């Protein structure tokens, strides 16, 4: 297998900068994801890596070999597109065998490889099925099998699950990760779905407006987002404007826009701040609890009134009004039933962690 590096790549389409000096690396056997909203440049980045789009600046390296000028078929890549593109007039076997036949493999070798990759994607026995007889998830598995049959060194996935329903997406994303682990191939995956990226990635590149905003493991991105965009895009959060009034490393005290003074947990980036800095305080709804009767558990207590209550099954989402600021709170476990339709109820909220972002 190989490592993949994109070094200072850029691409413009007319006056639009799609990719702006992006640097990216997928180490040997690593599964990385480029995560971002529609139009952020993630698919263009993937296509530059594949050789389908030529960069205006920068280079692509597979290991230490510069491949920028090589066409896709010389890069030993397997590209799984967003839309399944099976030949409608060929059965599953012939769809998978098509590329192998063009490469003049023997019939015995083709039979062996088709059987092998169908077992890998859990589609053994489907050899004679036509594409029209397959579900969306089955067709995407065959597409992956067709790519794997050619034994590429690098797997590239361009939102391969976006056209499937939620249940199929949930199951197939784990299959893709399992296949990557079993084959040991380096993989680069593109998606706009944060939950999908978190479930399957070793590391994630968060992208917006053509630039990489932050790189890290799912846990690193969730716990320590560096910008308001990353904090907001990775899950859900509350942003409150604030000012630092005291620092005793690694802890800060912050006066927030509700008028409350809150105390931070130990912050890994405390050295980036000083007293009187204007900051954004990011508090995730799942990190806030209703604190009635349990105030000793929390570093911080703030009081408010329930403005809206929405039961979603796993949680009850509260919108709590605190001095003209609305705070999202996710009540979990058995207590979530207690706060259904409780608009107007006064409550105390407790939390032990928040993140500071430069304002």
pLDDT tens-digit profile of 126-139? 999 999 999 988 99
Closest CA to 139 of 81, 84, 93, 89: 84
Alpha carbons 32 and 220: distance in angstroms, whole number: 14
CA angle 187, 170, 48 (to 5 degrees): 30
Cβ atoms of 188 and 27 closer than 8 Å: no
DSSP SS3 for 121: coil
Q: Is the pLDDT of residue 295 over 90?
A: no
The two domains 4-229 and 236-358 share their CATH topology (first three levels equal): no
Residue 125 DSSP one-character state: T
Mean model confidence pLDDT for the chain: 94
Convert the pLDDT of each residue in 159-218 to its tens digit: 998 877 877 788 889 989 999 999 999 999 999 999 999 999 999 999 999 999 999 999
Q: What is the pLDDT of residues 9-47, one digit of tens each?
A: 999 999 999 999 999 999 999 999 999 999 999 999 999
Q: Are 222 and 282 in contact (CB under 8 A)?
A: no
- The answer to whether the CB of 94 falls within 8 A of the CB of 118 is no
pLDDT at 359 (0 to 100): 76
Q: If phi over 0 gives left and psi between -120 and 50 gives alpha, with beta otherwise, what is residue 32?
A: beta
292 pLDDT higher than 80: no
Residue 48, Cβ neighbours under 10 Å: how many?
26
Work out the pLDDT band at 270, boundaries 50, 70, 90: very high
Tell me, what's the pLDDT at 155?
96
Per-position b or e across 28-38, b if 16+ CB within 10 A of its CB? ebbbbbbbbee
Task: Classify 158 as helix, strand or coil.
Answer: strand
- The Cβ of residue 15 has, within 10 Å, a number of other Cβ atoms equal to 5
Phi, psi of 230 (to 5 degrees): -65, -45
In whole angstroms, give the CA distance from residue 62 to residue 50.
11
**Whether domain 4-229 has CATH 3.40.50.300:** yes
Q: Chain-centre distance of CA 161, in angstroms?
A: 13
- For residue 341, is it left (φ>0), alpha (ψ between -120 and 50) or beta? left
Start-end of H helices in the chain:
42-50, 92-102, 107-120, 136-149, 166-183, 194-200, 218-223, 228-233
Radius of gyration in angstroms for the set of CA atoms belonging to the chain, rounded to a whole number:
25
Q: Element (H or E) spanning 9, and its range? A: strand 4-13
Hey, what CATH topology would domain 236-358 get? Answer: OB fold (Dihydrolipoamide Acetyltransferase, E2P) (2.40.50)
pLDDT band at 223 (very low <50, low <70, confident <90, very high): very high
* Three-class SS state of 119: helix
The whole-number pLDDT of residue 167 equals 79
> Residue 17 corresponds to which tokens in the numbers above?
């900068």
Give the position of tokens 């790189």: 215
Q: How do the domains of the chain map onto residue ranges?
A: 4-229, 236-358
Residue ranges in 104-256 assigned as alpha helix (H): 107-120, 136-149, 166-183, 194-200, 218-223, 228-233
Which pLDDT belongs to residue 316?
96
In 10 A of CB 336, how many CB atoms? 19
Query: Mean per-residue pLDDT for 57-72?
Result: 97
Residue 11 CA to residue 195 CA, distance in Å, equals 28
Percent of the chain, pLDDT > 90?
A: 86
pLDDT score, position 72: 94
**Residue listed under structure tokens 């558990």:** 297
Asked whether 257 and 241 are in contact (CB, 8 A), the reply is yes
83, pLDDT greater than 90: no
Residue 16 is encoded by which pair of tokens?
């639009």
Can you tell me the distance from the alpha carbon of 87 to that of 80, in angstroms, rounded to the nearest whole number? 15
């Amino acid at each position: 297998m190989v490592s993949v590096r994109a070094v200072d790549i850029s691409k413009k389409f007319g006056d639009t900068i799609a990719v702006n000096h992006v640097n990216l690396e997928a180490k040997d056997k690593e599964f990385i994801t480029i995560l971002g909203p529609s139009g952020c440049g993630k698919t263009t980045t993937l296509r530059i890596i594949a050789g389908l789009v030529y960069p205006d600046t920068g280079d692509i390296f597979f290991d230490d070999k510069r491949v920028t000028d090589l066409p896709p078929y010389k890069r030993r890549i397997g590209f799984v597109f967003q839309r399944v593109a099976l030949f409608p007039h060929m059965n599953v076997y012939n769809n998978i065998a098509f590329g192998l036949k063009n490469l003049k493999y023997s019939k015995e070798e083709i039979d062996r490889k088709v059987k092998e990759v169908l077992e890998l994607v859990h589609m053994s026995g489907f050899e004679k099925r036509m594409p029209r007889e397959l579900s969306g998830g089955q067709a995407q598995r065959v597409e992956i099998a067709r790519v794997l049959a050619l034994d590429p060194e690098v797997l590239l996935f361009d939102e391969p699950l976006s056209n499937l329903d939620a249940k199929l997406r949930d199951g197939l994303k784990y299959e893709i990760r399992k296949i990557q682990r079993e084959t040991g191939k380096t993989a680069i995956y593109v998606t706009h779905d944060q939950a999908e990226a978190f479930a399957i990635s070793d590391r994630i590149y968060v992208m917006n407006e053509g630039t990489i905003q932050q790189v890290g493991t799912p846990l690193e991105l969730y716990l320590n987002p560096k910008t308001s965009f990353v904090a907001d895009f990775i899950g859900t959060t509350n942003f409150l404007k604030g000012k630092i009034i005291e620092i005793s490393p690694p802890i800060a005290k912050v006066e927030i826009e509700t008028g409350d003074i809150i105390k931070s947990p130990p912050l890994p980036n405390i050295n980036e701040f000083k007293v009187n800095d204007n900051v954004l305080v990011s508090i995730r709804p799942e990190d806030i609890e209703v604190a009635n009767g349990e105030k000793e558990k929390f570093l911080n207590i703030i009081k408010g009134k329930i403005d809206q209550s929405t039961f979603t099954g796993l949680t009850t989402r509260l919108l709590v009004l605190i001095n003209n600021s609305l705070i999202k709170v996710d009540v979990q476990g058995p207590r979530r039933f207690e706060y259904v339709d409780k608009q107007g109820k006064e409550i105390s909220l407790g939390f032990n962690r928040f993140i500071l972002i430069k304002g």
